[in-house]
Chains A and B, each alone.
Chain A
Amino acid sequence: AQTVTQSQPEMSVQEAETVTLSCTYDTSESDYYLFWYKQPPSRQMILVIRQEAYKQQNATENRFSVNFQKAAKSFSLKISDSQLGDAAMYFCAYTFGGGADGLTFGKGTHLIIQP
């Protein structure tokens, strides 16, 4: 079974600084997708960024970027110029490309932004 591990239960960063959230995963598949979801206190699950395993280039969405290390099965999220609105729970998630079932999530990292 696939597993997703987030080793940092909580992270804190100063506003305007950069923070990196870690995620590792375990799979025997070659075709898969990785995601970072943000969950603010409203509890809505918001897709932040996604990465296709077959793409070597790291995904970037504005201030959010990933460091995808396929051989190491690592998928970290970097948030640049942190803003107060970035404070939330962040979940790393995996899905198998050929499967019909859903996402496998990590336990999450609580990100605190210090003003």
Chain B
Amino acid sequence: NAGVTQTPKFQVLKTGQSMTLQCAQDMNHEYMSWYRQDPGMGLRLIHYSVGAGITDQGEVPNGYNVSRSTTEDFPLRLLSAAPSQTSVYFCASREQGGYIQYFGAGTRLSVL
């Protein structure tokens, strides 16, 4: 039982490049979410999903796209990376009816 798995762990991009941060969970959780963590800040919600085919915006959604085609996967897409998107990104999941979120190990992204 791997829990929440994020790939890659580290990534360096140039401004304007695109990439997808991967998140997968094997706990059959309905709810999944993406957060970013900047220095001196707590985690802030980017997007979340309440089930396959259903997504919604969080506090800081601009510059990011998500989709949820399966229960297990919830990828985060950066279509045109900007230096302001340099951050640590966390994926989390929780079961329907539950309230404890389980976090992945995070992805450190640098945009030059």
Interface of A toward B, CB cutoff 8 Å: 4, 33, 35, 42-45, 47, 50, 91, 93, 95, 97, 100-108
Using a Cβ cutoff of 8 Å, how many contacts connect chains A and B?
Answer: 58
Q: A91-B42, A107-B40 are in contact. Are A102 and B90 (CB under 8 A)?
A: no
Q: Are A91 and B43 in contact (CB under 8 A)?
A: yes
A43: chain B residues at CB < 8 Å are: 88, 105-106, 108
Q: Are A50 and B48 in contact (CB under 8 A)?
A: no
A selection of 30 A-B contacts at a CB cut-off of 8 Å is A35-B100, A43-B88, A43-B106, A44-B103, A44-B105, A44-B106, A45-B92, A50-B100, A91-B42, A93-B42, A95-B101, A97-B99, A100-B31, A100-B48, A100-B50, A100-B56, A101-B45, A101-B56, A102-B33, A102-B35, A102-B45, A102-B58, A102-B101, A103-B43, A103-B45, A103-B92, A105-B42, A105-B43, A107-B41, A108-B40
Q: A91-B42, A107-B41, A108-B42 are in contact. Are A102 and B92 (CB under 8 A)?
A: yes
**Does B44 count as interface, using CB distance less than 8 angstroms?**
yes
Give Cα A93–Cα B94 distance, bound, in whole angstroms.
15
A4, A95, A101: which contacts B42 (Cβ < 8 A)? Answer: A4
A42: chain B residues at CB < 8 Å are: 105
A44: chain B residues at CB < 8 Å are: 103, 105-106
Interchain nearest-CB distance for B108 vs A (Å): 8
